[in-house]
Amino acid sequence: MDYGGTGDGCQPPNLITLLINIALQPGSVDEPLYGGQPFLQNILLLIAFISVPILLLAKPYFLSRQHGGGSDAGHHDDGSENSDTPLADGESGAHEESHSFGEVIIHQAIETIEFVLGMVSNTASYLRLWALSLAHSKLAGVFWEKCMLSTINMNFFAAFIGFGLFAATTTGVLLMMDVLECFLHALRLHWVEFQNKFYKADGVKFQPFSFKAILSDADI
């Protein structure tokens, strides 16, 4: 199924390269999976860029509107019910309001910077699996060249030994170690990079149930 692109439409797409080129080469797709894929990728990339100023400005804007509305209502009530409120209190309240609003802006700026840097860092971390696959493919080529190609033209016994070495290294290094590395990296990436999207660790520390702790507290 040929949807355009620079390829012939008959090769399976490289998904990792495809995802990387969304940001590095916008609008360029070698092997599209569906019609209109370059346009949709550009829309998604534009949404990602637009989300940064929205993340930075939306929360302070709505909080300022909400606080400003409550402040106006409070001034109106004070004027109708108690007209003896000193002006100094109003100035102090305005100062506290501007101070709290500045803290909100600073906090939101820090959250935005952490989110953007975390997104780049998380993407780079997931690319480690890609780097491992490339390294293992090159290592497989070295094993094939040194163990098989160098012995296959010697004699039967040398080719037999070379095939044994190639099979052992392929099974041990490329299959067992590769699968283990991918599993450990995926486990770490899901735990570290995914958990920091919502887990803040700012709640109450877990205290396991213990009769010993209860009895010791009761003796005190």
Dihedral over alpha carbons 119, 124, 129, 134 (to 10 degrees): 150
Q: How many angstroms separate the CA atoms of 90 and 53, rounded? A: 33
What angle separates helix 87-143 from helix 15-24, to the nearest 10 degrees? 140
- Indicate if the pLDDT at residue 148 is higher than 50: yes
Indicate the pLDDT class of residue 81, thresholds 50, 70 and 90: very low
What's the chain's length in residues?
220
CB 162 within 8 A of CB 150: yes
Distance, in Å, from the CA atom of 17 to the CA atom of 50, rounded to the nearest integer, reads 24
Tens of pLDDT, residue by residue over 92-124, are 555 555 657 778 888 888 888 888 887 787 777
Average pLDDT over every residue of 155-175: 85
Longest dimension (CA), the chain: 108
Distance CA 164, CA 176 (A): 16
Residue 46: predicted pLDDT: 92
| Model confidence at 79: pLDDT above 50 | no
Would you list the domain boundaries of the chain?
126-220
pLDDT at 72 over 70: no
In the predicted model, is pLDDT for residue 57 greater than 70? Answer: yes
Is the whole-model pTM more than 0.75? Answer: no
Q: Determine the average pLDDT of the residues in 121-141.
A: 77
Q: Which amino acid is residue 156, in one-letter code?
A: F
Q: For the CA atoms of 179, 180, 182, 187, what is the dihedral angle to 10 degrees?
A: 140
Residue 131 confidence (pLDDT):
79
In this structure, what are the phi and psi dihedrals at residue 9, rounded to the nearest 5 degrees? Answer: 85, 0
Contact 147, 173 (CB under 8 A): no
The pLDDT tens digits of the residues spanning 1-39 come to: 666 666 665 667 777 777 778 888 888 887 787 878 888
Integer CA distances (angstroms), 101 to 63, 89, 112, 142, in order = 8, 18, 16, 61
